[in-house]
Amino acid sequence: MNIMKKVGIALVAPVAALLAAMAITSAVIIAVGGPPVDFWRVMLSWPEADEIVNITNQASMLYLSGLAAAIGFRMNLFNIGVEGQYRVASYVGAIVAGTAIGPGLFTAGLAIVAAMVTGAVWAAIPALLKVTRGVSEVISTIMLNAIAGFLVGYLLLNYGQEIGNDRRTTPLEADTTFTGWTPFEPADGAIWTLTILAVLAGAAFWFVINRTRFGFDLRATGMNESAAVASGVNVKRMVVISMALSGAVAGLVWLPELFHESRTASFYSGSQFQTGLGFAGIAVALLGRNQPVGIAFGAVLFAFLSVQAGDLEFEHVDVSKDIVLVAQGVIVLTIVIAYEVVSRWRERLEQRQIQRALQRPGTPEEAVAS
Amino acid sequence: MATLVKGADPSTAPDAVVVRGVTKRFPGVVANHDVDITIRRGTVHALIGENGAGKSTLMKILYGVQRADEGSITVNQTDANFSSPTDAIKAGIGMVFQHFMLADNLTVLENVVLGAEGRHGIGDKARAEIRRLSDAYGFNLDPDQLVEQLGVGQRQRVEILKVLYRGAEIIILDEPTAVLVPQEVDALFDNLRGLRESGHTILFISHKLDEVLAIADDITVMRRGTTVGEAKPGTVTKHQLAEMMVGSELPSPETEESTVTTQVLLDVADLTLVDDRGRHLLKDIDLTIHKGEVLGIAGVEGNGQAELVESVMGMRKATGKVTLADRNLAGRDTRERREAGIGFIPEDRHRHGLLLDATLWENRVLGHQTRSPSSKGMLIDQRAARADTDRIIAAFDVRTPSRETHARALSGGNQQKLIVGREMSGDPVLLIAAHPTRGVDVGAQAAIWDHIKTARRNGLAVLLISADLDELIGLSDRITVILRGELVGEFDPRTVTPQQLGAAMTGGRDEQAGEETQ
Ligand SMILES: Nc1ncnc2c1ncn2[C@@H]1O[C@H](COP(=O)(O)OP(=O)(O)OP(=O)(O)O)[C@@H](O)[C@H]1O
Ligand SMILES: [Mg+2]
């Protein structure tokens, strides 16, 4: 098969899934009495410059979150705890970044490491519970999400600076923040400098999973745990390490936003912190089939939908913004189904090709030789 | 004489299954083409052929797991191109796969009832029916035991029970005897005869020609995807069958001169393993293997062989001493033991030996993650691993379109050949081989025996576990018998007979049984 055809076949599933998702979402809108045509006109319009910047920034955070979830999924570990991991990590990262204990770059670096370590530790708790006590990571990570919320709230309340009704961590010094890139007018905003973390993490993910011994052990454990054990993989150790890695990447999720230079100030506070990225990351990882490129596609798509939904109100379309959450959920379902259908269809296609090859001169016997 | 059958007179009964012109293609390979086969009702029909000949594929088509691309199948005179096993079961066909399909974490009862809840519910009625079937055929299964805790032989009985529970009249068994010791084979054959007597039709695949000749009423031979001949047990010999299958002579596992040295390679002392209920799975096992020596372990499935092997491999934490070439392995994990030079051919290739959804070259890396040519430093060495996979494919005659094929797409015997090739790579000092030729055809069996003999001449020590007593007697320098987790006697393979071994394995008192070692 030539490359064009291969790429074409690879695109069939996502395109078909998106079309199906659009149809289903439209049906939902009609059912609740909304105007589907207006909805899609707004949603599918080409984004403004400031929206493109916004989509890029959001996508970088979703991507990190998707990667974090995917590390666990590759090993059949259901880390539902990215949400709590990045919350605790963001808080600790913000505190360290606000200390200004050294030159700006040094402080920033230290804060990034602190966030990753915090995420790793928070994720290691359910891993240790799993390998020592047999507690399902699904349950324990969900509970730790709740605990993370309370814990950070408590710490903020007791140790945070008061600002209006809210509490916050010490704002970052100006030299600890980064200007970013302004591809359009300055008014359109900047692409955050630390979106680069997403690119780096994606490359590292691909390399570690596909090229290293550790990645092989991880995939082997995910594919067949008992065979991995027989091959010498220490599964308990792998569970702890990969959960910790997953948590470390989760620790990066909110940092692009924290470190960007803003007119007000950069800090962690209840209103400043963006929640929900951890849960969205699970869907993004599913969309991307736990592959780095696929996750990027999923992250951009989700960011695009969220940002475009902001226009609905502005354009007076009488559809709730929350319908986008429905659309996102529907997309995850249709993608999963579409991949399954297409893989069967592709198998049949390949068989037909063999059949055609056989009907050319030559006995079947020759083709059988393998 | 063996051509005439008792029970429902098959000569007048209509045919149970008629297959005509069936063709089935997979990416890169034609698994079946123009297959014709006729199975008379109330007979035991054997299907034989080399690895990758297309036997399992044909059976899966018959059972509705896969669909034929071309051709027709009729069952009991009605057209039967099943699109799912559900249809096949409705038509009275049941199948036990070459690789079992049981859920480990469920009980026997749950596994049997799963998907057949409508028959006797899921409670006491179902339990009673399972007990009845289990007793009627001497399966000796406890409905409430977890499948996880069962040995391969018992798992197979669960599979057969599943089929009977669903009321199958035509029963397909894909290599049912590969996992059984002779006594169990006899028991199974008694059951099969009983089933035939009661009007069932049995279709079974086997690589063991003696068994085929002992039980079959008709034999069909497949080669390279098509049926190449038919035979009757009364009029054909083992050698003729082998020749029809692979075009070669029958091999024999007999070793030539002894290559045993005086240097102890593996020393196991007081190995004891206790399960969570306090029962002994292994009790005070003492054994030594010298360089260049093959120690055979005979025993009925489930008497501690798997536990012994897994303890030596470090997959289970047993107490006692394991010393490899004067190096204490206590506290060493499986990886360190492998790195010390232990190769491991597991008894269940799908559970412990393969990543079915990974390529062949990735499967080559499995178990060798930390060693050349699979890896370099912390990285997987893809190029070298691929090249070495080609070497294994050639040396062990693994029939595959390429090294990039997924392990799942290989026939059972070819999967086994890949595993043997992999585990003999990297010059192991000790090979733990559980049923190394399980499921491979006679030609490949001879090749594997040759590989083991050659390695042994170069000093390889082998711990051999096999249900095939001919293999055990032919390859081993010493044979010891395991019974309920204990080693109960040692035999000299040059003088022992399969009957004596059989008696010792089942705990029967035989005055000629060798000196007790304990
Ligand atoms: N799912 C699959 N995808 C691709 N190829 C397959 C698949 N299943 C079987 N094959 C190929 O079809 C051929 C026949 O395989 P099959 O399993 O029927 O052999 P077999 O006669 O049962 O061999 P064995 O004695 O080793 O079990 C083999 O070349 C195998 O690689
Ligand atoms: Mg087969």
CB contact under 8 A, A220 and B370: no
Is there a single domain that holds both residue A22 and residue A106?
Answer: no
Is there a single domain that holds both residue A122 and residue A260?
Answer: yes
Is there a single domain that holds both residue A59 and residue A201?
Answer: yes
Q: For residue range B50-99, what is the model confidence (pLDDT) as tens digits?
A: 888 899 999 999 998 888 888 999 988 888 888 888 888 888 899 888 77
- Residue A38 within any structural domain of the chain: no
Number of domains in chain A: 2
Residue with the bigger pLDDT between A39 and A65: it is A65
| Shortest Cα–Cα distance, B167 to chain A (Å) | 32
Provide the domain limits for residue A331. Answer: 1-31+322-370
- Residue A58 within any structural domain of the chain: yes
Distance CA A249, CA A66 (A): 9
The residue from A279, A296, A319 where one domain ends is A319
Q: CATH code at A247? A: 1.10.3470
Residue B421 Cα to ligand 1 middle (Å) = 19
Q: What is the pLDDT of residue A267?
A: 87
Residue B54 Cα to ligand 2 middle (Å) = 7
Scanning every residue of chain B, which has its alpha carbon at the shortest distance from the alpha carbon of A346?
B27
Is there a single domain that holds both residue A305 and residue A327?
Answer: no
- Residue A25 within any structural domain of the chain: yes
Candidate from B337, B352, B400 with C-beta closest to A370? B400
Nearby residues for ligand 2 (ion, Cβ within 5 Å): B 56, 98, 411-412
Q: Check pLDDT > 70 for residue A351.
A: no
3-state SS assignment for residue B193: helix
Is there a single domain that holds both residue A212 and residue A255?
Answer: yes
pLDDT band for position B366 (50/70/90)?
A: very high
Residue B436 Cα to ligand 1 middle (Å) = 19
Number of neighbouring beta carbons within 10 Å of residue B274: 14
Is there a single domain that holds both residue A347 and residue A241?
Answer: no
Is there a single domain that holds both residue A227 and residue A369?
Answer: no
Candidate from B30, B336, B351 with C-beta closest to A367? B30
- Residue A41 within any structural domain of the chain: no
Q: Check pLDDT > 50 for residue B1.
A: no
3-state SS assignment for residue A268: coil
Q: What is the pLDDT of residue A358?
A: 54
Tell me, what DSSP letter sits at residue B50? -
Query: Does ipTM top 0.90?
Result: no
Is there a single domain that holds both residue A228 and residue A173?
Answer: yes
Q: Please tell me the number of the ligand nearest to residue B47's CA.
A: 1
Contacts of B245 (CB under 8 A, 6+ apart): B48, B49, B50, B53, B221, B223, B441, B442, B443
Q: What is the pLDDT of residue A362?
A: 39
- Residue A45 within any structural domain of the chain: no
Contacts of A223 in chain B (CB under 8 A): 355-358
The residue from A319, A337, A356 where one domain ends is A319
pLDDT band for position A359 (50/70/90)?
A: low
Q: What is the pLDDT of residue A161?
A: 86
Q: Check pLDDT > 60 for residue B213.
A: yes
Distance CA A311, CA A321 (A): 9
Using an 8 Å Cβ cutoff, are B475 and B252 in contact? no
Using an 8 Å Cβ cutoff, are B184 and B153 in contact? yes
Contacts of B366 in chain A (CB under 8 A): 220, 227-228, 231
| Chain A interface mutation, best of B369, B371, B382, B386, highest count of A Cβ atoms under 10 Å | B369
Is there a single domain that holds both residue A135 and residue A246?
Answer: yes
CA distances from A87 to A84, A112, A122, A256, A268 (A): 5, 14, 10, 14, 10
Whose C-alpha lies nearest to ligand 1, atom 22?
Answer: B56
Domains of chain B: 15-246 (3.40.50.300), 264-348+428-517 (3.40.50.300)
Residue with the bigger pLDDT between A348 and B329: it is B329
Q: For residue range A63-120, what is the model confidence (pLDDT) as tens digits?
A: 999 999 999 999 999 999 999 999 999 999 999 998 888 888 999 999 999 999 999 9
Q: Please tell me the number of the ligand nearest to residue B26's CA.
A: 1
pLDDT band for position B518 (50/70/90)?
A: very low
Is there a single domain that holds both residue A366 and residue A241?
Answer: no
Is there a single domain that holds both residue A86 and residue A210?
Answer: yes
Q: Check pLDDT > 90 for residue B4.
A: no
Q: For residue range A57-66, what is the model confidence (pLDDT) as tens digits?
A: 999 999 999 9
Q: For residue range B297-353, what is the model confidence (pLDDT) as tens digits?
A: 998 877 889 999 999 999 998 899 999 988 898 889 999 999 999 999 998 899 999
Residue B117 Cα to ligand 2 middle (Å) = 29
Residue with the bigger pLDDT between B288 and A164: it is B288
pTM of the full predicted structure? Answer: 0.84
Average pLDDT over residues B100-111: 85
Number of neighbouring beta carbons within 10 Å of residue B125: 11
By CB atoms closer than 10 A (0-12, 13-18, 19+), residue B354 is: buried
Mean pLDDT of chain A: 88
Q: What is the pLDDT of residue B181?
A: 73
Cβ of B28 under 8 Å from any chain A Cβ?
Answer: yes
- Residue A260 within any structural domain of the chain: yes
- Residue A48 within any structural domain of the chain: no
Contacts of B318 (CB under 8 A, 6+ apart): B271, B272, B273, B282, B307, B311
The alpha helices in B42-181, defined as continuous H runs, are 55-62, 85-90, 108-113, 117-120, 124-136, 152-165
- Residue A179 within any structural domain of the chain: yes
Is there a single domain that holds both residue A12 and residue A88?
Answer: no
- Name the region of B77 (left: φ>0; alpha: ψ -120 to 50; beta: rest): left
Q: Check pLDDT > 90 for residue B469.
A: no
Cβ of B313 under 8 Å from any chain A Cβ?
Answer: yes
Q: For residue range B266-308, what is the model confidence (pLDDT) as tens digits?
A: 999 999 999 888 888 999 999 999 999 999 999 887 788 999 9
Q: Check pLDDT > 70 for residue A177.
A: yes
Q: Check pLDDT > 50 for residue A338.
A: yes
| Shortest Cα–Cα distance, B133 to chain A (Å) | 31
- Pocket perturbation via mutation, ligand 1, pick of B22, B23, B24, B26 by most ligand atoms within 8 A of CB: B26
pLDDT band for position A350 (50/70/90)?
A: low
Residue with the bigger pLDDT between B121 and A30: it is A30
**Which chain B residues in 35-74 lie under 8 Å from chain A, judged by CB atoms?**
52, 69
The residue among A290, A271, A286, A278 whose CA lies nearest residue A251 is A278
Residue B412 Cα to ligand 2 middle (Å) = 5
Residue with the bigger pLDDT between B116 and B438: it is B438
Whose C-alpha lies nearest to ligand 1, atom 16?
Answer: B54
| Structure tokens that stand for B286 in this block | 């003492």
Residue with the bigger pLDDT between A228 and A188: it is A228
Give exposure, B51-63, as e/b (b: 16+ Cβ within 10 Å): bbbbbbbbbbbbb
Contacts of A227 in chain B (CB under 8 A): 351-355, 366
Long-range contacts from B477-481, C-beta under 8 angstroms, 24+ separation: B477/B255, B477/B258, B477/B260, B477/B293, B477/B294, B477/B295, B478/B293, B478/B294, B478/B295, B478/B296, B479/B295, B479/B296, B479/B297, B479/B298, B480/B287, B480/B295, B480/B296, B480/B297, B480/B298, B480/B517, B481/B297, B481/B298, B481/B299, B481/B505
Q: For residue range A288-321, what is the model confidence (pLDDT) as tens digits?
A: 889 999 999 999 999 999 999 888 877 777 888 8
**Omega of the bond prior to B373 within 30 degrees of 0, cis?**
yes
